[in-house]
Amino acid sequence: MNIRRFPMTREVSLLVLAYLYVPVLVLVVYSFNANRTATIWSHASLDWYGRILTNPSIQAATVNSLILAFAAAIGATTFALLAALATSRAFPRRGAVEAVLNMPLILPEIVVAVATLMLFVALGVQLGLGAMILAHTAFCIPFAYLPIRARLEGMSRSYEEAAQDLYANRFRTFRRVTLPLLWPGILAGFTLAFVTSLDDFLTSFFLSGPGTTTLPVYIFSAIRAGITPEINAISTVMLVISVLLVSLSFFLSRLRR
C-alpha cells in the first residue's frame, strides 16, 4: 500500500510541516528585529546577539548548561556502552532489560522529573548541579544506548573471533578491535545525549538550586516578563546548536569503517 496515492496526502503533509516549522522560522526572523517589542518589525539588526554575549546572567546559565550537558553525556555514554555490550549477547530476560533501559523514552518527562525530585528530597540529596547531573545521566542513557547498540548490531563477529584466534584475550580484543569499530556509534550516542541534556527544561527546572540556572530555565523565567528579541536570539542560538549536533550524530552513526 502506497500512502502517497491517498487523496490530499501531499497537502496535509505540507500543512503539518508548516504548522511545525513556520513558528520556528518566525522566531529566527524576529531575533534580528531591532525593535524592543518582539512583534513589531522595524529593521534588521544583530544588536540582540551582541547583548546576549555580554549578559552575565546568560553567561552563567550557559556555563551551567555546558557543564551539565558534558557531565551527563559522559556518564550516560559510559553506562550505555556497558549496557550495549551486555545486551549484545543472548541471555534470559534480555528483552526485559532492554525495555527498562528504554523506559525514559516512553515515560512522560514531567512524571520522571517529579518522581526524581521526590526521591532526592526523601534521600536528603541537595538540589543543584550535582542532582541535575545524576538525573540527566539517567534519562540520557537510552539516547546514547540506541546508536551504540545499532552500531554493535551491524558489526561482524568475525573480527573478534579472528583476534581471539590470534591469542588476544577479551580485554585486548575489546581495546584493539571492538572499541575502534564502535567509535562512530559512541560519538553519535555522546552527541545525542549532550544535546538532549542541553535542551532539557523540566528536570532542570525541578532540580536546579541557587546559582545553577540553565539556559532553558533562564528562558522560561525571562518570558514571564514578556517575549523580547533577546529571548528570540537565545532561542535561535540554541536551535542552531541543537540542529548541528543532531545532524552530527546522524552522520556519525552512518560512518563505515
Q: Answer yes or no: is 40 within a domain.
A: no
Q: What is the pLDDT of residue 77?
A: 94
In a domain, 14, yes or no: no
Task: Establish if 228 belongs to a structural domain.
Answer: yes
Give the pLDDT score at 1.
63
Q: Is residue 45 part of a domain?
A: no
Residue 7 falls inside a structural domain: no
Q: What is the pLDDT of residues 111-170, one digit of tens each?
A: 889 999 999 999 888 888 999 999 999 989 999 998 888 888 877 777 777 877 777 777
What is the rounded distance in angstroms from the CA atom of residue 51 to the CA atom of residue 36?
12
Q: How many domains does the chain have?
A: 1
Residue 227, in any domain of the structure: yes
Q: What is the pLDDT of residue 4?
A: 66
Single-letter residue type at 115: A
The residue type of 127 is L
Give the pLDDT of residue 38: 67
CATH number (domain holding residue 146): 1.10.3720.10
Grid cell locating 253: 552513526
Cβ-count burial of 205 within 10 angstroms (0-12 exposed, 13-18 middle, 19+ buried)? middle
Domain that holds residue 168: 55-253
CA gap 222, 253 in Å, rounded: 37
10-42 confidence digits (pLDDT tens): 788 889 989 988 988 888 888 888 777 767 777
Q: Which residue has the higher pLDDT, 46 or 206?
A: 206
Rounded to an integer, the average pLDDT of 238-254 is 82
Residue 37 inside a domain? The answer is no
190: confidence class by pLDDT, cuts 50, 70, 90:
very high
Domain for residue 29, yes or no? no
Would you put residue 6 in left (φ > 0), alpha (ψ -120 to 50) or beta?
beta
Expressed in angstroms, the distance from the first to the final Cα of the chain is 36
Residue 125: half-sphere exposure toward Cβ, Cα within 13 Å? 19
For the segment 226-254, the average pLDDT, to the nearest whole number, is: 82
Contacts of 211 (CB under 8 A, 6+ apart): 60, 128
Instruction: Please state, in angstroms and rounded to a whole number, the distance separating the CA atoms of residues 201 and 167.
Output: 50
- pLDDT of 257 > 60? The answer is no
Task: Work out the burial of residue 220: count CB atoms within 10 Å of its CB; fewer than 13 is exposed, 13-18 middle, 19 or more buried.
Answer: middle
